Chains A and B, each alone.
Chain A
Amino acid sequence: MTRLTLFNKTSLILGFAFLYIPIIILIIFSFNESKLVTVWGGFSTKWYGELMSNQGIKDAAWVTLKVAFTSSTIATFLGTIAGLVMAKFGRFRGRTLFSGMIYAPMVMPEVIIGLSLLLMFVALSIDRGVMTVTLAHITFSMCYVAVVVQSRMSSYDDSINEAALDLGCTPFKTFILITLPIIMPAVISGWLLSFTLSLDDLVIASFTSGPGSTTLPMKIYSMVRLGVTPEINAVSTILVGLVALGVVAGSFIGKKQKIN
């Protein structure tokens, strides 16, 4: 075991300070009595109360949750299949294009993905709304699920499946009864990742949404453009809290699975 040098300790402390201080400041000032976000006017939860009476934010939050839930569920289904294909199906015609379409959306600038989807919806005269945002979110989320499942599947022991098949189990049944339970932690973390990606997305949603389907990030963005207010800090704090809860729960599921 190597000991941590002074350099290691300093970089960890400074690095995590850099990553966390802005978020901590944001959370602190959501409890600020004063309307100014940089001057402390005493502890108050009034901005959370204000939030509860803001119908625009509540509507946007509801749209976002609907989109995130539907898109992450369908993306997990499609992404799990895609991950399985990538890890276990060997070579097939068009594999290069397939893996390109899985990896590219993860790094491709969001403005390109958003623009291209919007232009397609317009060309096919599909009305923009909750449905189009959901379709867009499924498409980029499924790629993340596919990669998570693929990396889990690549260390998967095929002989278990072969045993099941030898004993007369159909391939579909083998997948449901044997493979799926084993890769479940990867599937769940894929779902959680899809859910937060959908919850966070501003750019692609701005392109693909229509009237009546304003998502929470779009609402926050239009508020930010008008200026920094403690109300934005309050809604941000709630979102950060939810994500933190999800990440901790996700890692707990992963740990439990490992112990079993």
Chain B
Amino acid sequence: MKNLRKIINGRAAVIGIPYLWLLALFFFPFLIVLKISFAEPIIAIPPYTSLLEWGDSFWPTIKASLDSYLFLLDDSLYINAYLSSLKIATISTLIALVIGYAIAYSIAKAPTRWRGILLMLVILPFWTSFLIRVYAWIGILKTEGLLNLLLISLGVIDKPLTIMNTDLAVYIGIVYSYLPFMILPLYANLEKMDFSLLEAAADLGCRPFKAFWTVTIPLSLPGILAGCFLVFIPAVGEFVIPDLLGGTQTLMIGKVLWMEFFSNRDWPVASAVAIILLAILVVPIMYYQKSQEKAIS
């Protein structure tokens, strides 16, 4: 009895509090999504059928339906939305990597007394509202917006460019919003790098570009991977950016899920969309988790 109480009071209780919270509010909800994805939509509250039906017999009959999944496969809209989300997220991640690397590398090479302030300048937008930062681009990109006004007054173009409501605006929005997520892990990695290695390479006759390619890039690979995952995974399911900056022809799965839920009120299909999205992202998420745990310990 005393032992039992000791176990309950100590270690297990400390682990148990956050563990139970996450099980109840993070893990358990997924099981419900999974369950509803196998249900059928009906006009009722809640708008889906139950999976278990208690008839006359003792055991309930299971009424699972694959209709929602078949519906997703049948309509090319959904497959196209998944593919287009993956494409948009991949291209945006690569653009963010190139820009982010240049910035992170330059901060890491800056004099120590500057680094703190430069890093704070990266963190500040990271903490600023996502919605506000996306909104800021609307005034710049729209047809009568500031970018077009500037380019016309400089004489670069005669007619305003159509950027707003296109995929290009979505790329700009994603790269802009997620750039700090790319810079921070890259910087954390590059900061620890020994730049004398590059001097050694130069002394041995290696050109700067080749030294960068064969020394710096391989050494910063963990930072590159962490940054890419931090941008890619959430970008695939992004809703706010395609909704506010993208046009009607911009297909992204996060927006489809939102529409399916809020406009069409088809909960089983929305759940199936979420389950497939999760299935696509589970491998990158697990890889990210592993690499983060290794980085911290």
Give the B-binding residues of A (Cβ under 8 A). Answer: 1-2, 4, 7-9, 11-12, 15-16, 18-20, 22-23, 25-26, 29, 37-38, 78-79, 81-82, 84-85, 87, 89, 92, 94, 97-105, 107-113, 115-117, 119-120, 122-123, 135-136, 138-139, 142, 146-147, 150-151, 154, 171, 193, 196, 199-200, 202-203, 207, 217, 220-221, 224, 228, 232, 236, 239-240, 243-244, 246-248, 251
Contact = CB atoms under 8 A, between A and B. Distances in A.
Q: Which 4 A-B pairs have the closest CB atoms?
A: A109-B237, A116-B29, A11-B102, A82-B18
A107 B229 CA distance: 8
Contacts, number: 245
Contacts of B121: 16, 19-20
B135 A25 contact: no
Contacts of A38: 139, 144-146, 149
Given A116-B29, A120-B28, A247 B234 contact: no
Contacts of B128: 23, 200, 239-240, 243-244
Nearest to B22: A101
Given A26-B139, A89-B11, 17 more contacts: A8-B105, A22-B176, A25-B136, A25-B139, A78-B17, A78-B18, A81-B17, A108-B278, A109-B254, A110-B234, A112-B278, A120-B32, A142-B18, A220-B131, A224-B131, A251-B116, A251-B120
A199 B132 CA distance: 12
Given A22-B136, A107-B285, A78 B21 contact: yes
Contact-residue bracket for chain B: 35 or more
A107 B230 contact: yes
A81 B18 contact: yes
B17 A123 contact: no
Interface of B: 10-11, 14-15, 17-19, 21-23, 25-30, 32-33, 36, 46, 99, 102-103, 105-107, 109-111, 116, 118, 120-125, 127-133, 135-140, 142, 144-146, 149, 176, 179-180, 195, 229-230, 233-234, 236-240, 244, 254, 257-258, 261, 267, 270-271, 274, 277-278, 281, 284-286, 288-289, 292-293, 296-297
Given A26-B136, A123-B32, A247 B123 contact: yes
Contacts of B233: 107-109
Given A89-B15, A243-B127, A247-B120, A101 B144 contact: no
Nearest to A203: B239
A251 B120 CA distance: 8
B234 A154 contact: no
Contacts of A99: 289, 293
B14 A12 contact: no
Nearest to A193: B127
A18 B168 CA distance: 16
B125 A117 contact: no
B132 A239 contact: yes
Q: Which of B18, B19, B26, B28 has the most CB of A within 10 A?
A: B18
Nearest to B289: A103
Given A79-B18, A115-B261, A247-B127, A107 B25 contact: no
